[in-house]
Amino acid sequence: MMVCEYKPGLEGIPAAQSSISHVDGQKGILEYRGIRIEELAEKSSFLETAYLLIWGELPSKEELEAFEYEVRYHRRIKYRIRDMMKCFPESGHPMDALQASAAALGLFYSRRDLHNPAYIRDSVVRLLATIPTMVAAFQLMRKGNDPVRPRDDLDYSANFLYMLNEKEPDALAAKIFDICLILHVEHTMNASTFSARVTASTLTDPYAVVASAVGTLGGPLHGGANEEVIQMLEEIGSVENVRPYVDNLLQRKAKIMGFGHRVYKVKDPRATVLQNLAEQLFAKFGHDKYYDIALEMEQVVAEKLSGKGIYPNVDFYSGLVYGKMGIPTDLFTPIFAIARVAGWLAHWKEQLAENRIFRPTQIYNGRHEIPYIPIDQR
Ligand code: CMC
């Protein structure tokens, strides 16, 4: 057997062959099935992009309408799932609530027919349709309210914002939210996608695949960074405090949240689009002082860390966009999950097409031939 060099974090080691998305980290390019994200952000919708990722081609008009129809009419969650979620502690993090709820779907849809295209489609539709409903339901129930029923006359993003805020969203906000979902839907072999593929490779059900990926996405080095960015901007408080704050972090060798990426060595193209969306929201709904702090921060960090290729990543401006829409900070990562579920499902489908269970090796660096010491002699 060939012995490979050990790379912590598997940096640079291919874990799969995939035709779903492509990143050029030097040029700052991200493509879904070969199409640049900037073009999809401008011309597509989240559900159309999800279809593209999962089935490999842009849908025809009829295919898209049929897909949208199916997702629209599967948005309701079972009463027993809602009742289960009611028992969750309101102090719990919404990502934990989402992970538990996604796993619970597997209890209700336990059939595992992985070679049947109809089963694959039903699972994709059910997960895309119900994950936003579960995120919104937990948000309302933890405030002591009953969840609101999905509205069939609203599209995917408008319906989510309606369920979350109990009122019909502004059209620009709903459009911008949909673009945010497009920007977060897929990103090659990141930690949660890897987790999804490992789980998929055991031939378990797609609910377990999504639940394991949600658990992985929640950490502050991955999707959880967007929450921490807002906390950081609030802590900084003013433009004048940015430089000393950054200096202090760097002296302590702490990471600056929302900056840096394993693959991008230039500004993340998603951050550029998100920054533009934030500006559109500020133009309509009023300026945000945290944006001035963020701009100063981008400049100061570039001065100090551009030599290491550290620039804003997707999480730097997304929080400002969601914050301006009135979305609570601890829902930022669940919203990331609402988008990313389509990417995980594309990888689930791709993994099943040529499956081999993940079973890497390890380099054992422990001891050998140690005698067992009875407990009273330790
Ligand atoms: N702030 C300050 N220095 C940094 C940062 C940062 N955010 N990111 C990397 N560096 C430095 C790091 O200290 C190291 O310097 P040196 O070589 O002198 O020791 C060098 O850059 C390489 O860093 P690394 O930690 O080896 O890089 P990595 O590829 O393992 O880490 C990362 C990538 C995203 C985990 C890291 O940049 C980070 O922790 N960023 C902050 C958290 C964050 O914003 N996460 C969201 C990532 S994008 C969305 C997602 O994946 O969900």
- Model pLDDT for residues 198-214, shown as the tens digit of each residue: 999 999 999 999 999 99
Q: Which amino acid makes up residue 272?
A: T
106 lines ligand 1 (CB under 6 A): no
Q: What is the pLDDT of residue 222?
A: 87
Q: In sequence order, which residues have a C-beta less than 8 Å from that of residue 10 and are 6 or more positions away?
A: none
Q: Which residue's C-alpha comes closest to atom 8 of ligand 1?
A: 260
Residue 3, pLDDT > 70, answer no
Domains in the chain: boundaries: 225-324
Which residue reads 């796993």 in tokens?
103
Residue 367, pLDDT > 60, answer yes
**Architecture field, domain 225-324:** Orthogonal Bundle (1.10)
220: pLDDT confidence band, cut at 50, 70 and 90?
Answer: confident
Q: Which amino acid makes up residue 299?
A: Q
Whole-number Å distance, alpha carbon 25 to ligand 1 midpoint, is: 14
* Beta carbons of 150 and 137 less than 8 angstroms apart: no
Q: Give the tens place of pLDDT for each residue, 114-156.
A: 999 999 999 999 999 999 999 999 999 999 999 999 999 999 9
Q: In sequence order, which residues have a C-beta less than 8 Å from that of residue 91 and are 6 or more positions away?
A: none
Angle between helical axes of 206-217 and 94-108 (0-180°, round to 10): 170
* Beta carbons of 134 and 101 less than 8 angstroms apart: yes
- The arithmetic mean of pLDDT across residues 365-370, rounded, is 97
* Beta carbons of 338 and 136 less than 8 angstroms apart: no
225 lines ligand 1 (CB under 6 A): yes
- The arithmetic mean of pLDDT across residues 169-181, rounded, is 97
pTM recorded for the entire structure: 0.94
Percent of the chain with pLDDT over 70: 99
Helix (H, G, I), strand (E, B) or coil at 25: coil
Q: Give the tens place of pLDDT for each residue, 232-244.
A: 999 999 999 999 9
Residue 2, pLDDT > 80, answer no
Residues identified as active-site: 261, 315
* Beta carbons of 337 and 131 less than 8 angstroms apart: yes
Which residue reads 């969601």 in tokens?
322
Residue 301, pLDDT > 90, answer yes
Q: What is the pLDDT of residue 223?
A: 86
Q: Which residue's C-alpha comes closest to atom 36 of ligand 1?
A: 260
323: pLDDT confidence band, cut at 50, 70 and 90?
Answer: very high
- Report the C-alpha gap between 258 and 228 in whole angstroms: 8
- Report the C-alpha gap between 288 and 282 in whole angstroms: 7
- The arithmetic mean of pLDDT across residues 63-71, rounded, is 98
Residue 67, pLDDT > 60, answer yes
347: pLDDT confidence band, cut at 50, 70 and 90?
Answer: very high
Instruction: Write down the mean pLDDT value for the chain.
Output: 95
DSSP labels for 279-310? HHHHHHH---HHHHHHHHHHHHHHHHHGGGT-
260 lines ligand 1 (CB under 6 A): yes
